[in-house]
Structure 1
């Protein structure tokens, strides 16, 4: 505590939120505040900085209980609008993955496939209240004799549904180009041949984990904006890394930390959970995520004041290198350059295309700010940190 001039606790900040006295700003607004006031005075004045991102997050899905039948059933196969859910759990529980395709999808048999419907679209349709065709099967047992359920359901018919995303909120990600002479269809979008375009998928200075690069305030139990409702960080995400190259201010220059997130799907909105069709690749789910960063001291406020020209990523060839597992960078570019619309690679100006939405990222950060100011959202103090 003595290392800093400003020292606050989660309890103190939550009490200020409860009393309507908390000062909350977005991750874009804090940049000028720190520039004009300095980190100590900024940390004294500001209690919480809100962040936001909205982009495809493939490693997402939902645990769903479909409700029992009479006679009882223990499902071994389940489909929602012909999209299969994993049923190797118990009784009528299943897990619906965002990237699961419809069973009658032609996939890439006629390349590039359109992938019009899948798990991400089912999740969006459920939270939108649309009717869903549910089919479930079983081999039958003495205690669960029923062998099949077939009915139309809406979200209200399902006893419980929990969004559970094993890998969200990537702390930085590649900028993708295609150096081959053919169009490539990837999870980073359609990449034109001969470096005809470059795609990226991070909200830059608004992105949650750029604002706490060492995850000093984000861990098990952190409360977050998730899919339009409130959720929690439940563990580090898959592919989580901390031992990576960083800039002097701690920001990774390659993909690094990730988060496992959970929340009540029934509190969420189809505006912030959107099924995606990625031509030639598959289906996914765009997820709205916002994390409040508590300003515990001047170090944290300096982290949140990072700007797009201080955040860098690597340009990676998805036409040849990436599919073969070759790790090679064709240049390091800033998010300020990426957001400008063009980057310079090997002496050429390449048009950039974002997969993430800055408009929605700003809206999430602003919504989270309002929730906290109105006393509708409190900070969750992490019980375990993932920065080891």
Structure 2
């Protein structure tokens, strides 16, 4: 049976309101209070768009680039940017650099294997910031591509084609990490002290895009988004996407679940404030990336979903001292995002300090910047051309 809504809008209608400067746009934190005070039906009547934001480590990210050709031509087989290896098994001068790839000559690599200070995420940040990096390439040489090597300084404007393409971003929920062993462990969730002396977590909570549309009703292939300070697009489900997770009564997944694959529109418009190379001691390098997704309020269901609060979001706590060496493990507990943001949680009768890996202030800044773009008519919403599977 089809659901009957008291409020029904279309994205086209909302876009017309945006063009006329009449759209009512709020960020996801503002929507929490609106839904609480007015209810979902009145909120759906009043609000047209809710903007979300997150600025968090997103390891499955990187950049395609083409270095262009100068005679004699070259078919690159090995490529480096600032001594960070890139994947060159593509066309003649196409390559991909991943944010977790470490520099070949990083001194920490030689002294402390696994403790990289500079990697692919830093290279991309430098390029977005307008800096030059050192390009080096080697080739085996063929009749049609005789050149065997090239080395020069390049900036973003020197590269023929550049596109950020991130295979897995915006995890819909994720583990809060603790260490139950007697030694410090170094993980992609940051260093974890022994005997459960800290809990690290990574999400923007009630600002996070996929918590505000838990069933991906408005997000799909072709959805226009904020990506690192410029416009970008969702191009489908990300890797490791889970479409049928266990959920709570609000539809919020209780374990790591939905993910998105993202692509840039124009890298030259990006802002390095929203793309930062990172290095986690004892683990390696990655990058924090800013993503904002507008949620159109088409009906009262969407108003209800975007009214989600930190109290509604339950995150699983897992022991990374045991789980990640072994690849298995049980959930120790579920704690709310509100508890994690309070500064400590109680686990096994012990109060444990919590450490966020996601910047709440920059996540909110992203949601507000996207809100401003929409209010000024600089950003229109798009209809997904294909759904992303979710239960």
CA distance in 2, matches of 1:228, 1:378: 16
| Structure 1 unmatched ranges of 5 or more | none
Say whether 1:376 aligns with 2:372. Answer: no
SS in structure 1 at match of 2:332: coil
Q: Following TM superposition, by how much is the alpha carbon of 1:91 offset from its aligned partner in structure 2, in angstroms?
A: 1.3
CA distance in 2, matches of 1:322, 1:66: 38
- Pairwise mapping of residues 138-217 of structure 1 onto structure 2 (< 5 A)? 138-217=139-218
SS in structure 2 at match of 1:95: strand
Q: Following TM superposition, by how much is the alpha carbon of 1:110 offset from its aligned partner in structure 2, in angstroms?
A: 4.1
Q: Following TM superposition, by how much is the alpha carbon of 1:105 offset from its aligned partner in structure 2, in angstroms?
A: 3.0
Say whether 1:224 aligns with 2:222. Answer: no
Structure 1 runs of 4+ aligned residues shifted over 2 Å read 105-114
Q: 2:271 aligns with which of 269, 272, 275?
A: 269
Q: 1:306 aligns with which of 273, 295, 308?
A: 308
CA distance in 1, matches of 2:97, 2:268: 15
Q: Following TM superposition, by how much is the alpha carbon of 1:235 offset from its aligned partner in structure 2, in angstroms?
A: 1.1
CA distance in 1, matches of 2:304, 2:58: 28
CA distance in 2, matches of 1:194, 1:2: 50
Partner of 2:28: 27
Q: Following TM superposition, by how much is the alpha carbon of 1:107 offset from its aligned partner in structure 2, in angstroms?
A: 5.9
CA distance in 2, matches of 1:313, 1:382: 29
The alpha-carbon distance between structure 1 residues 112 and 315, as it changes in their structure 2 partners (threshold 3 A), is: farther
| C-alpha contact 1:7 1:296 (8 A) present in aligned 2 | yes
Q: Following TM superposition, by how much is the alpha carbon of 1:322 offset from its aligned partner in structure 2, in angstroms?
A: 2.8
TM-score normalized by structure 2?
Answer: 0.97
CA distance in 1, matches of 2:33, 2:118: 43
* CA offset digits 1:4-53 (Å, max 9, x no partner): 00000010001111111100000000111111111111101100000000
SS in structure 2 at match of 1:285: strand
SS in structure 2 at match of 1:299: helix
| C-alpha contact 1:216 1:387 (8 A) present in aligned 2 | no
SS in structure 1 at match of 2:122: helix
- Name whichever of 293-302 and 154-163 sits farther off: 154-163
SS in structure 2 at match of 1:336: helix
The alpha-carbon distance between structure 1 residues 324 and 331, as it changes in their structure 2 partners (threshold 3 A), is: same
| C-alpha contact 1:112 1:279 (8 A) present in aligned 2 | no
Partner of 1:61: 62
Q: Following TM superposition, by how much is the alpha carbon of 1:111 offset from its aligned partner in structure 2, in angstroms?
A: 4.2
CA distance in 1, matches of 2:55, 2:30: 19
Q: 1:292 aligns with which of 287, 294, 298?
A: 294
* CA offset digits 1:169-215 (Å, max 9, x no partner): 00010000000000111000010000010000001000000000000
SS in structure 1 at match of 2:206: helix
CA distance in 1, matches of 2:301, 2:190: 37
Partner of 1:279: 281
Q: Following TM superposition, by how much is the alpha carbon of 1:113 offset from its aligned partner in structure 2, in angstroms?
A: 4.7
| C-alpha contact 2:68 2:159 (8 A) present in aligned 1 | yes
Q: Following TM superposition, by how much is the alpha carbon of 1:168 offset from its aligned partner in structure 2, in angstroms?
A: 0.2
Q: Following TM superposition, by how much is the alpha carbon of 1:325 offset from its aligned partner in structure 2, in angstroms?
A: 1.3
| Structure 2 unmatched ranges of 5 or more | none
Q: Count how many residue pairs are aligned between Structure 1 and Structure 2.
A: 388
| C-alpha contact 2:79 2:87 (8 A) present in aligned 1 | yes
CA distance in 1, matches of 2:231, 2:285: 25
Partner of 2:254: 253
Q: Following TM superposition, by how much is the alpha carbon of 1:387 offset from its aligned partner in structure 2, in angstroms?
A: 2.6
CA distance in 2, matches of 1:228, 1:272: 6
Q: Following TM superposition, by how much is the alpha carbon of 1:108 offset from its aligned partner in structure 2, in angstroms?
A: 5.9
- Name whichever of 99-108 and 190-199 sits farther off: 99-108
Say whether 1:242 aligns with 2:243. Answer: yes
TM-score normalized by structure 1?
Answer: 0.98
* CA offset digits 1:106-147 (Å, max 9, x no partner): 566644754111000000000111111100111111111111
